[in-house]
Amino acid sequence: MTEASDADPTRRFRLDDKVALVTGGSRGLGKEMILAFAHCGADVVIASRKLDACEALAKQVEQETGRRALALGAHVGEWDQCDDLARRALDHFGHVDVLVNNAGMSPRYESVVEISEALYDKVMAVNLKGAFRLSAVLGTAMSEGAGGSIINVSSIAAEMPSPIEIPYGAAKSGLHSLTKSLARTFAPKVRVNCIMPGAFMTDISKAWPQAMIDHLEASLPLHRGGAPDEIVGAALYLASDASSYATGSILKIDGGATYGMG
């Protein structure tokens, strides 16, 4: 427990003077997490393959919150680029206290036999390999320093895989295993947890057919997909001292989609 919690428990959600790095941070859930972290006092590193989008969000962060924001272009599916991303963030700020492995991809394919080796390798690289390498490098730095928090972002496809996202579901399931193993690897100074989102109505959802949206509304207990900013509560909890006794956890934010699955 921190001293702040004795007087005001909401202070435990603050991230004052922390540095948070979010991959896939320029859009969707990553953008919402970046903004929330900055509003709660953190300086932020916004990383994605689209540097211009990262730079635009960095300006927004600085204007709205007064916190420092570093925009970095990086392809987390590439091992060397993960190392370079971690190095540049550490060189710029001196430390990284929160890492969110949020980058992901799930390309469409016609049938299981038509999944190419290139597609399979790309999905595994972005969704799993990059998270491992960044966690290994930055988790080690956190462990050698003041500690920190690593948050992996998986998907309900890890527990409810479908025929249209086979490699993606396998990679996200691997991310659950990675969460649990790294929680033990970096304990006690670094906590490693995972958010498992369901369907969120980000910009990607604009391409979903109406039949898919109708199915969500009919089948989910909450009768809707999630608004992007509904990820914020879970992200702040796991990033901050509010979750100081949580590690190796998988937190479902899915509108009840995986109810009864643990």
Distance CA 111, CA 144 (A): 46
Going from the C-alpha of 256 to that of each of 152, 175, 216, the distances in angstroms are: 20, 21, 11
Query: Contact 222/256 with Cβ under 8 angstroms?
Result: yes
Query: Contact 192/248 with Cβ under 8 angstroms?
Result: yes
Q: Residue 96 has which token pair?
A: 């990284």
Catalytic residue among 168, 237, 245, 259: 168
Query: Contact 234/199 with Cβ under 8 angstroms?
Result: no
| Rounded to 5°, angle at Cα 250 from 244 and 255 | 115
Distance CA 8, CA 142 (A): 27
Among this protein's residues, is 168 annotated catalytic? yes
Q: For helices 117-124 and 166-185, what crossing angle results, to 10°? A: 30
Residue 200 is classified by DSSP as: B
Phi and psi of 125, rounded to 5°?
Answer: -65, -50
Q: Which residues are catalytic?
A: 168
